[in-house]
Chains A and B, each alone.
Chain A
Amino acid sequence: MRTNTLEVRPRREDRIAADRSRLARSLAWTILLLVSLTMLAPFIWMVLTALKTEGEILRGDGLLPTEWRWQNFADALDAAPFGIYARNSLILAAAHTLMTVTFAAATGYSLAKLRFRAAPWIFGGLLAAMMIPGYATIVPQFLMVRFMPLFGGNNVLGQGGIGWIDSWWGLIIPGGVTAFSIFLFRQFFTSVPTELLEAARIDGVGEVGIFVRIASPQVLPAFLTAGLLSAENAWNNFLWPLLVTRSEEMRVIQVGLASFRQETTAQWTLMMAGTTLAMLPMIVLFLLAQRYFVQGFAQVGIK
């Protein structure tokens, strides 16, 4: 990050200007502080609510809890099977991350480095796919999963059963590899020097070996970035799991939270405890690996 150094010059006008710019910087800093606190206020309110007693909520007095009631978290876990929901979300996130760092990486690499005739067309299609809003294709996507042949009691023509509905297949396979992640990998792999790959090819390394052992280690940040983003998306996803899962055993955390809200209308302490649990893993992951998240989002912005 660029730091702005104030140069010391002896002239009087410059001193005044320096004073003014110092004042402007203090003002800017104060604005940033206020904005940041405003952005954080809902989260702070959530945690404070999760630690109050129900009676204290209803009285609506002080902002801080009078007694810090950690028991709310245990009660929320008792009130709904958040453990199962979290496990399902973890499986989904792990599977999507794995699919991203294998299939999306390989596709991105071949688009960047393997010269084949259809590459520009596939890349164009990829860019177009990134522009199509996911919600516009949700109906055909759902129908494909619903009428998946030979699954869930369906016959060869996809009739008769429920297909991939309420199965891990339906939950995981669609959306596991996104156009965005392929694009991200393609951008990173483009910067790998082709001479390096050519040299390995001359040394007799196979094509798969070149991808796995020569090119991939050059772009490790891409793997971290794409993997983290796909884990985050999987954990936060709501509509698709809502549509394709029915039983409680298959519910992911966001769907579980939504149904918890419908079942417990008035218990805000438990609801905020549950919400905190649903947010926490991604917030922790983000704080630990902030560099890679930021890089990922900025990458699409710059290139």
Chain B
Amino acid sequence: MVVALVLSFTRYDIPAPPEFIGVDNYVEAFTSRSFQRAVLNTLFLTIVAVPTAMIIALVIAVLLNQGMRWQGFFRTAVFLPHITATVAVAVLWLWIFNPDHTGLLNRIIGTIGLGPVSWLGSTEWAMPSVIVMYIWQSIGIKMLIYLAALQGLPPEVGEAARLDGANSLERFWYMTVPLLRPATFFVLVISVISSFQVFDQIYILTSGGPANATTVMTYQIYQSAFQASRMGYASAQSIVLFVVLIILAIVSRRIVGGTDAH
């Protein structure tokens, strides 16, 4: 991290040696249209995908915690996408999003007379498509952490509320959700970190396109460092990524109010 900070103040187009240029890299990053777009896209993806996936994960975890038949199967099914390589998963979704009538998604909307839609090739659908795949893949781990936290809750609490006449929705909202606050904070932090590191799926699905519609900060860093060989500029972009992430972590702590030492 320190090395990245030092390099961010240099022009370092390898193999030429680094040369100190002050804050020029940061000026370039903040005025570059594609990097601005990447910051906005990263934030958009995080703000849409993380809460959506967290809510779905929490509901699934609460339902799973009721102890029902096939519980193991359900848990495995929800968790399987997380264990699978993102590159392989992205190639699979590339096929699901295939723009002509053979892609699974276009076949499904075709049955009600819509489409075909060029999911990844159009500026308005590319980002939502990426987000759908991201949510699908990231529910599992959040569900698992919630499930573990639920199993750590004392059963007497829910029992007492039941005797007081609280229905299951009230119990969920007034008991389970507040009791899970530390878990929620933890899930939120690791989710935000992971949504800032979305790269593999962008590389496979869209290469950041069309017209920068799906470019993200990690993809910009990759392009600066390993396609343009501009290590100094890429380091400055890395520092921006890190700082934005820290700010978001502080903001999430404010929102959720996690108090203990997670």
Give Cα distance in the complex from A254 to B85, angstroms: 8
- When the two chains form the complex, which single residue of B68, B80, B87 contacts A254, counting CB atoms closer than 8 Å? B87
The yes or no answer to A272 lying at the interface (CB within 8 A) is yes
Q: Which residue of B lies closest to A40 (CB)?
A: B77
Q: Which residue of A lies closest to B140 (CB)?
A: A39
Residues 274-287 of A, flagged 1 when their CB comes within 8 A of B and 0 if not, give: 11001100110011
Q: Point out the residues of chain B lying under 8 angstroms from A283, CB to CB.
A: 80, 83-84
Is B145 a contact of A298 with CB atoms below 8 Å?
yes
Distance of B29 from chain A, by nearest CB (Å): 14
Distance of B85 from chain A, by nearest CB (Å): 4
Chain A interface SS verdict (over half): helix
Is A139 a contact of B87 with CB atoms below 8 Å?
no
Q: Which residue of A lies closest to B192 (CB)?
A: A133
Is B149 a contact of A301 with CB atoms below 8 Å?
yes
The yes or no answer to A74 lying at the interface (CB within 8 A) is no
Is A135 a contact of B238 with CB atoms below 8 Å?
yes
Is A133 a contact of B196 with CB atoms below 8 Å?
yes
Stretch touching chain A among B31-39, B88-96, B121-129: B88-96
Residues 169-189 of B, flagged 1 when their CB comes within 8 A of A and 0 if not, give: 000000000000001001101
Residues 259-297 of A, flagged 1 when their CB comes within 8 A of B and 0 if not, give: 001000000100110110011001100110010011001
The yes or no answer to A2 lying at the interface (CB within 8 A) is yes
Stretch touching chain B among A25-33, A97-105, A111-119, A205-213: A25-33
User: Given A1-B151, A32-B63, A142-B225, does the pair A268, B7 have CB atoms closer than 8 Å?
Assistant: no
Q: Which residue of B lies closest to A239 (CB)?
A: B199
The yes or no answer to A132 lying at the interface (CB within 8 A) is yes
The yes or no answer to A232 lying at the interface (CB within 8 A) is yes
Most central of B74, B140, B155, B186 by chain A CB within 10 Å:
B74
Give Cα distance in the complex from A236 to B242, angstroms: 24
User: Given A58-B102, A272-B95, does the pair A135, B204 have CB atoms closer than 8 Å?
Assistant: no
Q: Which residue of B lies closest to A28 (CB)?
A: B63
Is B234 a contact of A139 with CB atoms below 8 Å?
yes
Residues 65-109 of B, flagged 1 when their CB comes within 8 A of A and 0 if not, give: 111111101111111110111111101111110100110100100
Is B241 a contact of A135 with CB atoms below 8 Å?
yes
Is A254 a contact of B88 with CB atoms below 8 Å?
yes
Distance of A135 from chain B, by nearest CB (Å): 5
Is B76 a contact of A287 with CB atoms below 8 Å?
yes
- When the two chains form the complex, which single residue of B60, B152, B155, B249 contacts A302, counting CB atoms closer than 8 Å? B152
| A124-174 interface (Cβ within 8 A of B) | 131-140, 142-143, 146
Residues 45-56 of B, flagged 1 when their CB comes within 8 A of A and 0 if not, give: 000000000001
Q: Point out the residues of chain A lying under 8 angstroms from B193, CB to CB.
A: 131, 133
- When the two chains form the complex, which single residue of A1, A35, A275, A302 contacts B92, counting CB atoms closer than 8 Å? A275
Q: Point out the residues of chain B lying under 8 angstroms from A139, CB to CB.
A: 4, 7, 221, 225, 231, 234-235, 238
Q: Which residue of A lies closest to B153 (CB)?
A: A2
The yes or no answer to B120 lying at the interface (CB within 8 A) is no
User: Given A46-B92, A271-B95, does the pair A298, B147 have CB atoms closer than 8 Å?
Assistant: yes
Q: Point out the residues of chain B lying under 8 angstroms from A60, CB to CB.
A: 101-102, 107
The yes or no answer to B26 lying at the interface (CB within 8 A) is no
Q: Point out the residues of chain A lying under 8 angstroms from B145, CB to CB.
A: 297-298, 300-301
The yes or no answer to B223 lying at the interface (CB within 8 A) is no
Q: Which residue of A lies closest to B5 (CB)?
A: A140
Is B66 a contact of A4 with CB atoms below 8 Å?
yes
Give Cα distance in the complex from A169 to B18, angstroms: 25
Is A294 a contact of B144 with CB atoms below 8 Å?
yes
The yes or no answer to B13 lying at the interface (CB within 8 A) is no
Is B200 a contact of A239 with CB atoms below 8 Å?
yes
Is B68 a contact of A268 with CB atoms below 8 Å?
no
Is B83 a contact of A232 with CB atoms below 8 Å?
yes
| A15-37 interface (Cβ within 8 A of B) | 21, 24-25, 28-29, 31-33, 35-37
Is B68 a contact of A2 with CB atoms below 8 Å?
no
The yes or no answer to A199 lying at the interface (CB within 8 A) is no
Is B95 a contact of A31 with CB atoms below 8 Å?
no
The yes or no answer to B160 lying at the interface (CB within 8 A) is no
- When the two chains form the complex, which single residue of A58, A140, A278, A302 contacts B3, counting CB atoms closer than 8 Å? A140
Q: Point out the residues of chain B lying under 8 angstroms from A226, CB to CB.
A: none
Smallest CB-CB A-B distances: 10 pairs: A298-B148, A301-B145, A36-B77, A236-B85, A140-B3, A254-B87, A3-B67, A136-B242, A278-B88, A136-B238
Q: What are 8 contact pairs spanning A and B, CB under 8 A? A: A32-B64, A131-B193, A135-B197, A136-B242, A146-B14, A255-B87, A278-B87, A297-B148
Q: A32-B70, A133-B245 are in contact. List 13 more A-B contacts (CB 8 A).
A: A1-B71, A32-B74, A133-B193, A136-B4, A146-B14, A238-B199, A275-B92, A283-B83, A290-B76, A297-B141, A297-B148, A298-B147, A302-B148
